Amino acid sequence: MLEARIFIKNGIKMAKKKTTKRAWSVSDVKTLKSLAKKKTGVTKISKALKRTIGATAVKAHQLGVSLDTRN
């Protein structure tokens, strides 16, 4: 049986979000590289990939791709 983790914030009981890791597909990497080449901001790239800004920035660094840090 799965049990949700509950925490209290400002007197309100809230369930904690469960984080999951997704592998980077070939198409994700291609999209990242093409958008970075067009000088698209890291925020827009992360939204297009449905990933966090941090995950997008780390993957770009691993690939040696420079990202525009402007929105």
Average pLDDT on 54-65 reads 95
- pLDDT at residue 35 greater than cutoff 60: yes
pLDDT classification of 71: cutoffs 50, 70, 90:
low
Residue 70: partners with Cβ closer than 8 Å, 6 or more residues away? 41
Average pLDDT on 41-60 reads 95
What's the pLDDT score for residue 62? 96
pTM: 0.72
